[in-house]
Amino acid sequence: MIRLDGRLGAVAAYVEEGMPMADVGCGHGLLCAGLLQRGRVPRAVAVDRSDLSLEKTRRLAGRLGLGGRLDCRRGDGLGPLEAGEVHSVVIAGVSGMGIARMLEDGIHKIDGGTRLVLQPMQGEDALRKALVRLRLNILDEDLVAGKGRLFDVIVAGRQKAPEYDLAYARVGFLLWLKRHPLLRARVEHRLAVARKLIANLQKSGKGPEETLDDLRSAVRLYEEMLGWL
Ligand SMILES: C[S@@+](CC[C@H](N)C(=O)[O-])C[C@H]1O[C@@H](n2cnc3c(N)ncnc32)[C@H](O)[C@@H]1O
């Protein structure tokens, strides 16, 4: 049985059971293979812009006998998908900016039933802001520890959701509302990094004032949050 690590396991948990899914930027195809093997989804579409990744995915599917249930397509972002053909669309292991760009380009492929399961490797705050700008509601958020760091999982779609407070985009507003057990660790780490950056910028005398202002407002937010956690 394909083993999904903590990060991919957290992503998999949000894929709607019994419904077809797509994994955009599938890499080696572990997620699709793991979900199909467990019978969690009836059919999967694996998309990647790299021939090599798709070849690895095809070979894995062949080895596991997943046959016609896994459809491998080469292309950029949501381009190879038809609107409405899958329920969950996963984009994992890519930068937040990269995910935002794929969603913007493929916005017409996202209908009222699509569930986006997004796992940015960095730039989560930029992704959250892009989702709100694209009128894609943030429905849930999770944080998972692995490989010495924390990973965000963001679930979004056109389904109705309470307004998202972007003042918390750096850490995750829904993680804050649910007082996620890993949030303290995240905020403490970010606070330490922001303080160090401020000290370095002040010492070198270099760097634009907006950067310093931004870092100072981040420090204020983190300090305030730690008071409540
Ligand atoms: C680091 S791997 C992540 C694999 C897997 N999703 C995971 O989370 O473990 C990133 C993959 O995304 C693919 N990728 C990056 N940008 C892409 C895009 N715009 N369209 C399609 N695939 C993309 C890369 O070719 C690579 O195979």
Taking only the tens place, the pLDDT of each residue in 25-83 is: 999 999 999 999 999 999 999 999 999 999 999 999 999 999 899 999 999 999 999 99
pLDDT for the residue 210: 85
Span from the CA of 209 to the centroid of ligand 1 (angstroms):
35
My answer on whether 156 and 189 are in the same domain is no
pLDDT, tens digit (0-9, with 9 covering 90-100), for 69-117: 999 999 999 999 999 999 999 999 999 999 999 999 999 999 999 999 9
Span from the CA of 50 to the centroid of ligand 1 (angstroms):
8
**Range name among 22-36, 112-126, 127-141, 197-211 with the lowest pLDDT average:** 197-211
Does 25 map to a domain? yes
Choose which residue among 30, 49, 57 to substitute to test ligand 1 binding: the one with the highest number of ligand atoms within 8 A of its C-beta. 49
Half-sphere exposure of 177 (CA within 13 A, CB side): 16
Question: Can you tell me which residue has the tokens 């293979």?
Answer: 33
Please state, in angstroms and rounded to a whole number, the distance separating the CA atoms of residues 12 and 117. 9
Which one-letter DSSP state was computed for residue 26? -
Residue where a domain terminates, one of 135, 166, 197: 166
My answer on whether 129 and 205 are in the same domain is no
Span from the CA of 27 to the centroid of ligand 1 (angstroms):
5
Does 162 map to a domain? yes
My answer on whether 125 and 210 are in the same domain is no
> Domain range for residue 196?
184-228
Span from the CA of 155 to the centroid of ligand 1 (angstroms):
18
pLDDT at residue 205 greater than cutoff 90: no
Please state, in angstroms and rounded to a whole number, the distance separating the CA atoms of residues 71 and 152. 27
pLDDT at residue 222 greater than cutoff 80: yes
Please state, in angstroms and rounded to a whole number, the distance separating the CA atoms of residues 84 and 86. 6
Q: How many domains does the chain have?
A: 2
What CATH number is associated with residue 31?
A: 3.40.50.150
pLDDT for the residue 61: 97
